Structure 1
Amino acid sequence: MTEVAESAPASGSALLVKKHALEGEAYVIRKIIKIDAAKCNSCGECVTACHEGAIGMDNGKAVLLRDDYCDGLGDCLPACPTGAITFEEREALAYDEVAVLSNLKSKTFKELSRDYLKHLKTPSLSSKKRNRLDRERKSCLGQWPVQIRLVSAHAAFFKDADLLVAADCCAYAYGDFHNEFMPGRVVLIGCPKLDAVCYTEKIAEILAQNDVRSVTVARMSVPCCGGIEQAVKNAISSSRKAVPCVVRVISPQGMLAPETPSHMNPDEHDVHAVCK
């Protein structure tokens, strides 16, 4: 290894710049970020603040991926809520803009970005980041009203629709209810224990008046929720249509049971409708 010393620029900086020839790469004494793992709270704010892709997550902690990706400007410093990131002056690879641009386009960077997105879903995420993500989540509801007793069987949104008939408690028990169940479906909700209506008659009317493509039933595992499942089955039988039906059962702890197909024969009419 050879070493060359150069005087500081005429700007007055007293820093003595040292350049090394080591495997064709230039090392200099320069300002670069330093991350204190003990202070890092795993929030990941610095990852998004760094436009050069110099910071990533490793085992839930922020790390400097490569010296030559860090430009030393410190956009990440104010983003860190715990003060885990500071500057230091040390021997490091010079900032390499060409390498940064190449990395940002590379498969490796995309994989790191995907790992970071996975990290955002972990319990270690800061409340600040979690609250921001919660605000950004979009509703998957595509029509109104949603109450079974309030919808009109002649509503235009029932044409060629995939129905979701859900016990209203499901949306509270299952955390990802919107994304898991609602996209692309017309949503109908009700409580068979509290609503003094006959769901079978309304749902049967909807099926009779429209070419519904499928029905998904979302219900809780508690006994009283059996009424909404039975009402849908009775409605399909009453409609005399072979409508595919799937039942999804959610526990009070938010666990989703395996999908259960319900094979309804329109010629087997079940007169035991669940009505109050």
Structure 2
Amino acid sequence: MVKTIQIDESKCNGCGMCVEACHEGALALVNGKAKLVRPNFCDGMGDCLPACPQDAISFVDNDVLAQPIMAHPNMSVPGVQWPIQLALVSPISDVLKGRLVIAADCTAFKVENFNKTFVKDDPVVIGCPKLDDRARFDKLIEIFRNNPITEIDVVRMEVPCCSALTRLVRSAVEMSGKNIPIKETVIARNGTIL
């Protein structure tokens, strides 16, 4: 199930604070009221919720957005979940269950058939321990705490900066209070699995 927002127009005072808080451009003021004008842009993160002084915005499940985007068998790939960037993934997403693949950004570009080899039909989150803000990785604590994750597969590059990904995941699991098994796969610079 995918989360999106719903606006109670009877509570909306048209201040526009939610529109400013929505970094995806999903909201706009229409006739003096906030409206979800681009539902497919809503990432379900809820940045607009705390911005609303009238408590006019709430989360709802959206079955339509939960449908796979690509239905053609020659175009689809396993793991059709979106978004996949750690910065954009909602920590309360219904797709985050079972085995979770946490991959360094570069890995999918170095391994042939990355999706078939690692992702299959499981949820995936990607990030870069060198370039992403470390605070973003704190979101992993909430993901582990709030979702029925049964195992984690960390896929990282062999370069030294990438080893931090496994350390960040281990730390987040510990801080979540859960005991989730972690498997680490290291990819060489030439794309072979070490």
Shorter-normalised TM-score: what interval?
A: 0.5 to 0.7
Q: CA deviation at 1:184?
A: 2.4
* Residue of structure 2 in register with 1:263 after alignment: none
User: Secondary structure of the residue that 1:215 maps to in structure 2?
Assistant: strand
1:192-231 to 2 correspondences below 5 Å:
192-231=129-168
AA partner of residue 83 (structure 2): P
Q: Which amino acid aligns with 2:117?
A: E
Q: Which has the higher contact order (CA 8 A, sep 6+)?
A: 2
CA contact (8 A) 1:200 1:234 kept: no
Q: Higher Cα Rg: structure 1 or 2?
A: 1
Q: Does 2:81 match 1:140?
A: no
What percentage of aligned pairs have identical amino acids? 34
Q: What letter is aligned with 1:154?
A: I
Q: CA deviation at 1:149?
A: 1.1
Q: Post-superposition shift, 1:255?
A: 0.8
Distance 1:198 1:166 in 2: 17
Do the aligned residues in 1 keep the contact of 2:91 with 2:142 (CA within 8 Å)?
yes
* Aligned AA (1:148): L
1:224-268 per-position Cα deviation (integer Å, ceiling 9, x unaligned): 1012111101011111111011000000101102xxxxxxxxxxx
Q: Between Structure 1 and Structure 2, how many residues are aligned?
A: 122
TM-score normalised by structure 2 residue count: 0.59
- Structure 2: gaps (5+ residues): 1-72
Task: Report if aligned partners of 2:86, 2:137 keep a CA contact under 8 Å in 1.
Answer: no
Deviation string for 1:15-74 (max 9, x for gaps)? xxxxxxxxxxxxxxxxxxxxxxxxxxxxxxxxxxxxxxxxxxxxxxxxxxxxxxxxxxxx
1:146-182 CA distance string (max 9 Å, x none): 0001111111111x33110000100011112010001
How many angstroms does 1:137 deviate by?
6.3
The runs of 4+ residues in structure 1 deviating greater than 3 Å are 135-138
> 2: distance between equivalents of 1:143 and 1:161?
14
Using the size of structure 1 for normalisation, the TM-score is: 0.42
Corresponding residue number in structure 2 for 1:168: 105
Secondary structure at 1:219 match in 2: strand
Task: Give the equivalent residue in structure 1 for 2:89.
Answer: 151
Q: 2:193 aligns with which of 229, 234, 256?
A: 256
| Unaligned residue ranges in structure 1 (runs of 5+) | 1-134, 258-276
